[in-house]
């Protein structure tokens, strides 16, 4: 399924760099399907893959989480979490999938909060919603609901501030226009001066 989506994405993609990124993801997914990661054979039997414990999943996220906490490059952290998401999809590991979506949502939430960009907040909400649909434990569900509510609250604050600043800017523009018009000579004054004989 993932391979078909990547092929469709490459066919429809008009941007060269994005197309190369999609091709890279396709190749990575293909290697995962063949039982080989970018580092070589996984060394895991198919029976072990489905038996991921929370500790095993947490171990996979450990390096990326440290990198992100240390203020690492957000884009490389996003790529790393996306690779873990693909791995979870390919291996039919819903726990890995859910945690990867949660982590991706967290990155977008932080970025959206810092940049005041509601698009990133929308991405975070979408990822949290998808993770909520895949989540099978109560603690994970509670955490995701909390994240969704928090994201909605931040979006509301940003939207309200943006509306206020736009309204304030419009009021300022109107005041400037009024001041400019009141400073300009009226047409009556101009007509009176033209009628007077010049001496």
Q: Is the pLDDT of residue 175 over 90?
A: no
Q: Is the pLDDT of residue 108 over 90?
A: yes
Q: Is the pLDDT of residue 180 over 90?
A: no
Query: Which CATH number fits the domain that encloses residue 93?
Result: 1.25.40.10
- State percent of the chain over pLDDT 90: 26
- CB atoms under 10 Å from CB of 141, counted, come to 14
Could you give the number of structural domains in the chain? 2
Spatial separation of the C-alpha atoms in residues 181 and 196, rounded to whole Å: 25
Instruction: For strands 40-41 and 36-37, give the pairing.
Output: antiparallel
Residue 81 and residue 176 share a domain = yes
Decide if 148 is inside a domain.
yes
> What is the predicted pLDDT for the residue at 8?
64
Q: Is the pLDDT of residue 127 over 80?
A: yes
Decide if 48 is inside a domain.
no
Which pLDDT band, with edges at 50, 70 and 90, does 15 fall under? confident
Domain extent, residue 15, equals 1-35
Decide if 192 is inside a domain.
no
- Over residues 4-12, the mean pLDDT reads 66
> What is the predicted pLDDT for the residue at 73?
83
Q: Which of 12-21, 32-41, 189-198 is modeled with the greatest confidence?
A: 12-21
- State percent of the chain over pLDDT 70: 73
> What is the predicted pLDDT for the residue at 43?
47
Residue 23 and residue 105 share a domain = no
Q: State pLDDT tens for residues 130-168.
A: 999 888 887 788 889 999 999 999 999 988 887 777 777
Decide if 122 is inside a domain.
yes
Is the Cβ–Cβ distance between 159 and 122 less than 8 Å? no
Spatial separation of the C-alpha atoms in residues 9 and 20, rounded to whole Å: 11
Decide if 55 is inside a domain.
no
* SS3 annotation, the chain: CHHHHHHHHHHHCCCHHHHHHHHHHHHHHHHHHCCEECCEECCCCHHHHCCCCHHHHHHHHHHHHHHHHCCCCHHHHHHHHHHHHHHHHHCCCHHHHHHHHHHHHHHHHHHHHHHCCHHHHHHHHHHHHHHHHHCCCHHHHHHHHHHHHHHHHHHHHHHHHHHHHHHHHHHHHHHHHHHHHHHCCCHHHHHHHHHCCCC
Decide if 196 is inside a domain.
no
Residue 84 and residue 2 share a domain = no
Is the Cβ–Cβ distance between 125 and 152 less than 8 Å? yes
pTM of structure: 0.58
10 Cβ contact partners less than 8 Å away, ≥ 6 residues apart: 19, 22, 23, 26
Which pLDDT band, with edges at 50, 70 and 90, does 101 fall under? very high
- Count CA atoms closer than 13 A to 45's CA, side-chain side: 2
- Over residues 15-20, the mean pLDDT reads 73
Angle value at C-alpha 111, between 77 and 12, nearest 5 degrees: 70
Q: State pLDDT tens for residues 24-57.
A: 777 777 777 776 444 444 444 444 444 577 888 8
Is the Cβ–Cβ distance between 134 and 174 less than 8 Å? no
> What is the predicted pLDDT for the residue at 31?
74
What are the phi and psi torsion angles at 40 (to 5°)?
Answer: 125, -165
Which pLDDT band, with edges at 50, 70 and 90, does 110 fall under? very high
Task: Please report, to the nearest 10 degrees, the dihedral formed by the alpha carbons of residues 183, 186, 192, 194 taken in order.
Answer: 80
Q: Is the pLDDT of residue 5 over 70?
A: no
């Amino acid at each position: 399924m993932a391979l078909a989506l990547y092929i469709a994405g490459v066919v429809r993609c008009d941007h060269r760099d994005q197309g190369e990124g999609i091709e890279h993801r396709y190749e990575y997914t293909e290697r995962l399907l063949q039982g080989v990661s970018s580092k070589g054979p996984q060394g895991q039997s198919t029976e072990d893959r489905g038996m991921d414990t929370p500790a095993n999943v947490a171990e996979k996220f450990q390096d990326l989480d440290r990198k992100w906490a240390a203020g690492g490059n957000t884009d490389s952290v996003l790529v790393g979490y996306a690779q873990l998401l693909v791995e979870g999809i390919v291996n039919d590991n819903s726990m890995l999938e859910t945690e990867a979506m949660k982590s991706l949502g967290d990155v977008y939430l932080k970025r959206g909060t810092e940049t005041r960009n509601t698009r990133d907040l929308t991405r975070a909400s979408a990822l949290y919603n998808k993770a909520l649909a895949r989540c099978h434990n109560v603690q994970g569900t509670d955490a995701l609901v909390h994240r969704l509510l928090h994201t909605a609250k931040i979006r509301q604050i940003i939207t309200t501030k943006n509306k206020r600043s736009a309204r304030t800017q419009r009021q300022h523009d109107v005041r400037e226009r009024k001041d400019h018009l009141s400073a300009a000579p009226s047409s009556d004054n101009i007509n009176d001066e033209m009628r007077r004989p010049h001496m």
